[in-house]
Structure 1
C-alpha cells in the first residue's frame, strides 16, 4: 500500500478515532510490537494506536528486526503484516511458536486469500484482519482484537497456574486420592495412590484398575457403594487389600458419589490412607494387655509386695487402654493441615484444620507472617531441613516438636514441597502436616510396659515362696 494515507480525509478520521479511544475501549496499559515493510503505513498505524493512552507501540520494518527486538524485550501483543521481504508474516509466526513464544499474534494485511488465512490460524495466529475499508472502524476492530487476545492469554495463563497449584497440593498429599466412573474406569489418581500400588499414573488412568480386596471384606465394600445416594452421598470404610507381593495391608477410605442434575451417578471421588501400622499397634497393644492380665491372675494370691506390683501393672494396663482409646479417637477425627507460605512466612493459603489447630482463624492467618514456635532442640534441625530443599530435590518429610501458646509441647510430621520460580529462587512452600504427639507417647508407653514385663518374668514362684519363708 502507498503513503497516500496522509491526506486530509484520513487525518479527519484519525482525530475522530482519537476521541473515541478515550472513551474506554482499552483500560489496561499494554505494549505492542507492530511490523510492516511500508514506513508510512507503520507510522500512521502507530499514531492511530497510541492515541489510546493505554497503548505503547514499538515498530520495525522486517520480521528479522522484530526477532532481534523480541530477544531483548517482551511485548503484550504482536501485529504483523503478511507480505514482507526476507520473511513473511506467517514464517515469522512459525519461528516464534517453534521457539516457545506464545505472545498474542495478529496478522494485519491486505492479503485476503483463503489459504493464507487458514495457514495463519493453523500456525497459531490469534486473529487475521484485512486492511481496507473504513479506517476508523478498521483500527477500532484492531484495538478490540488486541484487547481480547491479550486478556484471553492472561486468563489461559492464570488458569494454567491455578491448575498447577491445585495439582501440587493434591500431589503433596500423603493420602491416596482417586476419581473413577461407576464402571471402575479411573479418571484421576495422585502420585501417592499410584506409588502405593507400585504403578505409574498412566498405567491406571483410563483403565478399570481395581485393588484386590480381601475376600472377607468384599461384601462390606459392595454394601458401602450400594448405600450411597444423592441424599447420602458419602461414607467411609476400612478394608484389607492384598498387594501383588502377597502382603495384606489395611486401608481407610472416605468415598463420595457425584451425581448430575438429573440424579444420575457420574463418578466417585475417594480419599484413603494406609492404616496397617495403626492396626498392627492395636494388635500389639491387645497382646500386651493379655500378657498383663495373665501376670495379674498369677500374682493375685501372693503377698502385699506382689499385690502392689500387680496394682501398678493394672494401672499401667488402664493407662494403655485409655491411651489406645485417645489415639483411636485422634485417628478417627484426624484432618491433615494444609498451608502455603512464602519464604518470609507470609501465609497465602491455609485450611480450617490448620487454623483450628493453632487456635485462630483463616482470616487472621492469610496475608500475615505466622510461624509456630519450634522447640529449641529442633530449631537447627528444621532450618537444615528447609535448606536441604532444592530444585532437584524439592520434597521432604520432617518430624519435630512445637511449643503451643499454652506451653504444651506437641509433635508434628510435615511433608513439604518447595516451589521455585523461573530463576531458580523459592517462590513459596506447600506443606501438608499432621499431629503425631499421641503416636510418640504410645511408643514411649509401650517401651515402659515392655520393661515392666521383662521385670515380672524374672520373678519366679520360688523367689516368692522364699520371700514369704524368710519373713
Structure 2
C-alpha cells in the first residue's frame, strides 16, 4: 500500500476554513478565535475585525469563506452590514453571533439572507461547539448547492447510477407525484417497511403505507405543497407500520421537485429508521434520571450556602444564570434574593425538611436574575454534614430550563432548515469485483476514512488494509458464500482504523450480482460510520452500571416498586432491615406485604396522589414496617416517582431507637 504525503493544514491550505469574525469587543474576538481554532483542531482559522466598515477591503479578494458577525456594534450593526454585502452581490455565507436575542432580530436577519443565527450566553464550550458546527454546516450547504447547480445538466445521464446509489443508501428514498402516486422507491424501503416495488409503485403512497389515523392530515398537507400554499415540512418523525404489522419510528426529510415553470410536480421523501436510536436514547435518559435522583448531581449552576441560606461559594454558571459578571458577586447574598417571592415559602420548607431527614429530589422553582428578570429552574439540594453527621451547609444544583428549551428548539430548526437531499447520503456506495477491487467507491470516503476515492479505485489501497486485524475474521467468514452463492446478501458491523489512526465503527451492507450464466461476478453495497451509535450504547451501559453501584451504596435501605405494588429491586441494606433475601423479595413480594391493612390503604391513596400531582403529595412520612419474624419497627420513608415512569423509589430509615427515646423522655 502506497501512502500519500498529504501536507499538514495551514492557513493557505484549501482544506482550511477561513472565517472573518466581526465584533467591537476585543476580548470577545480573542476568546472566539482561541476556542474556535482549538475546537476545530486547526480546520478553522479565524481573522478578527473590530471595525465593520473595513469588511469589504478584507473580502474583495475572495479569501474569506464565511463571515461571523455581532448584531449590536457602534459604527454599523450586523443587519445593515449584511444588507450592504447582499447589495454588492457578495455570495459569502453570513452568521449572526450575538447576545441580542429578540425574535424580530432573528426574523430580520434570516429575511436579509443570513445563513444562521446563534445567541451568545451558553456556557463557553457549548456555545463555541455550536458555532464550529454551524460554520461547517453552512459551508457544507453552500458547497452542496454549488455542486448541485453544476451537476444539474448531467443528472439525467446518470439516472441509472443514481438509482443504484439510492438502492445502496442506508436511508429510504420515495418519489411521489402530484396525484399521490409512488413513482420511485429504493430497496431500503423494502428492507425497513417490507413493501416491494409491486406493493407501492403506481399505488397511493398515503393510503398504502400509513395508518388510517394519519392519512387525512398527511394528504391535506401534501396537496397544500403541490398547489403552492405551503412549503414541505423539512423534517418530521412519525410512527409507521411495516407490511407485517411491526411499529417503526421513521424520520422523514422532504424536498420538492419542480418543472421548468417552477411548479411543484413531485415530492422526494428521504426516510431514516430511527427506532433503535430512539430506544437507546430513551433507555439512556431513564438511567440518567435514576442516577440523578440518587446522587443529586447536575452539570449546571452549583451554589454552596450556610444553614441560614447565605451563599458561601458559587461557580461561573451560577453567575451567568443570575446575570452577574463574577461568581464573587453572589458571595454573601441570601439565596432568597434570587428566588421569586411566590416561591420563598416552598424553598424554605424544602430546606427545613432536608435538615431533619434524608429527603432528596429535584423541584421546579422560579428564580431571578440580578436585573429582576425571572426564569424557570430545576433545583436539587443536598445537606452537607460533618463527621458526626451534623448539618453544616447546603449545596444547591440548578438547571435553567428556559435555556435548555431554547437550545433544543434552535437545534431542531437548524436541522429542519438545512438538511437536504445531498446531506442525507452520508455513507460510501461501492461496486467492484468479487475480489473486492472497486470500480467505483463514492460518497463520504474522505470523511469516513481520511483517504480519497482515487486511493481505492486505483488499487493503491485496499479496504481490508483498514480493517482491524481482530475483526478480519468477520469478513473472511463470508468469502465463500460471496463467491459461490448467487444473490448472497450480508449486513455486518466491524472496526477500521482511518488515516488519522482513529478507530471507527462501520456498518456494511453488501450483496453479489450474478452473470448471465448465473455465477457471482460483482459485489456491491454501502458502508456507513456508526461510531456515534456505538458510543451511545457504551454510555448507556456505563450509566446503568453507575446507577446500580450508587443504588447499592447509598447507606440507606432502598427499594424500587412498580405501580402494581411489586418490588422490582432492593439493596443489601433493605435485606438487613427486613431479614429477607433479595431472591425472596424481588418480583415476588409487594410493598403491601410489609404493611398492615390500615397502612396499606393509606399508602395506596398517597401513591395515587403522587401519580396525579407529585407537588401535592407528601413525599416523606413515618410508618411501621413488618419484618420477616412478624415484629414491626418504626421507619421514616421518602418516596419519589421515577421520571417518565410509573415506578417509584423508596428510601427507609429505622427510627425505632429514636421513638423509644422519645417515649422514655
Q: TM-score, normalised by structure 1?
A: 0.51
Residue of structure 1 aligned with 2:382, choices 300, 306, 311? 300
Q: 1:195 to 1:410 in 2, by over 3 A?
A: closer
What secondary structure sits across from 1:397 in the alignment? strand
Q: Which residue of 2 aligns with 1:340?
A: 431
What secondary structure sits across from 1:251 in the alignment? strand
What secondary structure sits across from 2:254 in the alignment? strand
What secondary structure sits across from 1:410 in the alignment? strand
How far apart, CA to CA, are the structure 2 residues paired with 1:386 and 1:164?
28
How far apart, CA to CA, are the structure 1 residues paired with 2:216 and 2:507?
33
Say whether 1:353 aligns with 2:351: no
Moved more, 290-299 or 215-224: 215-224
Q: How does 1:141-180 map to 2 (within 5 A)?
A: 167-180=163-176
Q: How does 1:178-327 map to 2 (within 5 A)?
A: 178-210=174-206, 211-212=209-210, 226=224, 236-243=234-241, 248-297=247-296, 298=360, 300-301=382-383
Which string of whole-angstrom CA distances, capped at 9 and with x for unpartnered residues, describes residues 111-155 of structure 1?
xxxxxxxxxxxxxxxxxxxxxxxxxxxxxxxxxxxxxxxxxxxxx
Which string of whole-angstrom CA distances, capped at 9 and with x for unpartnered residues, describes residues 48-93 of structure 1?
xxxxxxxxxxxxxxxxxxxxxxxxxxxxxxxxxxxxxxxxxxxxxx
How far apart, CA to CA, are the structure 2 residues paired with 1:223 and 1:363?
44
| 8 Å CA contact 1:391, 1:420 repeated in 2 | no
How far apart, CA to CA, are the structure 2 residues paired with 1:411 and 1:432?
14
Q: Which residue of 2 aligns with 1:386?
A: 479
Which string of whole-angstrom CA distances, capped at 9 and with x for unpartnered residues, describes residues 363-409 of structure 1?
44433343241111111221122332244342111111111223221
Following superposition, the deviation at residue 185 of structure 1 comes to: 0.8
What 5-or-longer segments of structure 1 have no aligned partner? 1-161, 307-313, 315-320, 467-471
| 8 Å CA contact 1:224, 1:235 repeated in 2 | no
| 8 Å CA contact 1:224, 1:237 repeated in 2 | no
Q: Which residue of 2 aligns with 1:405?
A: 499
Q: TM-score, normalised by structure 2?
A: 0.37
Q: Report which of the two has the higher share of helix.
A: 1
How far apart, CA to CA, are the structure 1 residues paired with 2:204 and 2:225?
21
**Radius of gyration: which is bigger?**
1
Q: Which residue of 2 aligns with 1:366?
A: 457
Alignment size in residue pairs: 287
What 5-or-longer segments of structure 2 have no aligned partner? 1-157, 297-359, 361-380, 390-396, 398-403, 558-572, 574-651, 655-665
Following superposition, the deviation at residue 448 of structure 1 comes to: 1.7
Moved more, 266-275 or 358-367: 358-367
Which string of whole-angstrom CA distances, capped at 9 and with x for unpartnered residues, describes residues 177-197 of structure 1?
222211211112223314533
How far apart, CA to CA, are the structure 1 residues paired with 2:499 and 2:176?
43
Q: How does 1:422-461 map to 2 (within 5 A)?
A: 422-459=516-553, 460-461=555-556
How far apart, CA to CA, are the structure 2 residues paired with 1:344 and 1:438?
30
How far apart, CA to CA, are the structure 2 residues paired with 1:221 and 1:276?
24
Q: Which residue of 1 aligns with 2:365?
A: none
What secondary structure sits across from 1:261 in the alignment? coil
